[in-house]
Chain A
Amino acid sequence: MKTELKTNLRAIWGRAYVRVVGAQREPSWILFEIMMPLLAVATYVFVYRALGAPKEFTGFVILGGIMTAYWLNVLWSMASQFYWEKETGNLELYLIAPISRMSILLGMALGGLFMSTTRAVVILLGGIWLFDVTMVPSSWPLLVLVFLLCMVALYGLGMLASSVFLMFGRDAWQISTLLQEPIYVFSGFYFPIKSFGFTLGTIASLIPLTLGIDAMRQLFFEAGRTHAFLPIGWEILILAVLSVVFLWLANKALLKMENLGKKEGRLTLRWQ
Chain B
Amino acid sequence: MGLWRTIKTAGWLGWQIEANWAEPFTFIAYAITRPIFSTLILVLMYKVVAGGQISTALFAYIYLGNAFFMYTANVLAGVGIVIHEDRERYEMLKYIYLAPIVTYFYMLGRCIPKLVITTLAVIVTVVMGVWIFDLKLVFGHWPLMILSFPLGIIATIALGIALASLTLLTARHGFFMTEGTAGVFYLVSGAVFPIEVLPDWMEPAALAFPITYWLEALRRGMMAEPVSKIFASWSDEKLLLILAMTTLLSIVLSVLINRGIEYIARKQGKLDQVFNY
Contact = CB atoms under 8 A, between A and B. Distances in A.
Given A43-B183, A50-B194, A178-B33, A195 B46 contact: no
Contacts of A185: 37, 40-41, 44
Given A26-B171, A33-B180, A76-B175, A47 B193 contact: yes
Interface in B33-62: 33-34, 37-38, 40-42, 44-50, 58, 62
Interface string A61-73: 0000000000010
Contacts of A259: none
Contacts of B192: 43, 46-47
B30 interface: yes
Given A22-B277, A50-B194, 9 more contacts: A33-B176, A36-B179, A43-B186, A46-B192, A49-B193, A87-B89, A171-B22, A174-B30, A184-B37
For the residues of A in contact with B, the DSSP-based class is helix
A171 B27 CA distance: 10
A159 B232 CA distance: 52
Given A171-B22, A177-B34, A32 B277 contact: no
Contacts of A182: 33-34, 37
Contacts of A46: 187, 192-193, 197-198
Interface of A: 18-19, 22, 26, 28-29, 32-33, 35-37, 39-40, 42-44, 46-53, 57, 72, 76, 87-88, 90, 169-171, 174, 177-178, 180-182, 184-185, 189-192, 195, 227, 271
For the residues of B in contact with A, the DSSP-based class is helix
Nearest to A85: B276
A171 B277 contact: no
Contacts of A177: 34
28 contacts: A22-B277, A26-B173, A28-B170, A29-B171, A33-B173, A36-B177, A37-B180, A39-B183, A40-B179, A42-B187, A43-B186, A43-B187, A46-B197, A47-B193, A48-B49, A51-B46, A51-B50, A52-B49, A88-B88, A181-B34, A181-B41, A182-B33, A185-B41, A185-B44, A191-B44, A191-B45, A192-B48, A271-B90
Contacts of B119: none
B41 A18 contact: no
Interface string B100-140: 00000000000000000000000000000000000000000
Contacts of B44: 185, 191, 195
A32 B37 CA distance: 24
B22 A174 contact: yes
A88 B276 contact: yes
A22 to B, nearest CB: 4
Interface of B: 21-22, 30, 33-34, 37-38, 40-42, 44-50, 58, 62, 88-90, 169-171, 173, 175-177, 179-181, 183-184, 186-187, 191-194, 197-198, 274, 276-277
A255 B213 CA distance: 54
B159 to A, nearest CB: 15
Contacts of A271: 89-90
A44 B183 contact: no
Nearest to A111: B277
A47 to B, nearest CB: 5
